[in-house]
Amino acid sequence: MDYEAIVIGTSAGGIDALKTVLSQIEMPLSIPIIIVQHLSPRHKSYLPSIISQVTGHNAKEIDEKETLVSGWIYFAPPNFHILIEKNKTVTLTVEKRVSYARPSIDVLFETAADTYRDKLIGVILTGANHDGAKGIKCIDSYGGYTIVQSPDTAYADEMPKAAMGMIDPNEVLSLIDIGKHLNQLIKNNTSTSWENEYD
């Protein structure tokens, strides 16, 4: 299977979890990774620079109407939902909160699933609410690949447990194993749908 994108959702404890997972992913990235991390809407996010420094990967806050390209890790801006359009561009919205969150993991996962269908990998990490459960169910319904952090390795286990209550994931993995497994899934990708236009 040639996967075309990875979406990751996380909340409480997510920054450290993302450092662990993303630092294990091998360079160069053959597909884009799009991430929703719940953050305060009142403060600027420094996540892209933090992740870039820790992992060596290219990371940025995603922009309105941006086209997703391989080789990059994209983060949702504080207080904006991310919608993935059919042409693999991004729409940012300030519509009402979903699962008490904006950005919402569910919104990202559902729109990405509708676009990428069975060529999408969805990952739920640590978090203290149920955001992402409906979204990962949507990914699963399209035949996408689903990974959930094992609750006993999560800083907050509510989000992984909620996801597992919705579906039987393809994998339930400890935090230290998720990045390694993602490498295995994408290492044989032959898709060249996007080139890294930022280099």
Q: Which of 11, 30, 70, 104 is catalytic?
A: 11
Q: Which of 38, 57, 130, 181 is catalytic?
A: 38
- Helix (H) / strand (E) element for 64: namely none
Q: Is 38 a catalytic residue?
A: yes
Q: Is 2 a catalytic residue?
A: no
Length of the chain equals 199
| Residue 12 near residue 154, CB atoms below 8 Å | no
Separation between Cα atoms, residue 94 and residue 63, nearest integer Å = 14
| Residue 170 near residue 146, CB atoms below 8 Å | yes
Q: Alpha helix locations (H) across the chain?
A: 14-23, 47-55, 105-116, 133-141, 158-166, 175-186
Q: Is 168 a catalytic residue?
A: no
Separation between Cα atoms, residue 173 and residue 191, nearest integer Å = 26
Separation between Cα atoms, residue 163 and residue 89, nearest integer Å = 26
Exposed (0-12), middle (13-18) or buried (19+): which is 188, by Cβ within 10 Å? exposed
Q: Which of 81, 130, 131, 140 is catalytic?
A: 131
How far lies 122's CA from each of 53, 64, 94, 170, in Å?
Answer: 24, 22, 23, 10
- The set of catalytic residues is 11, 38, 131
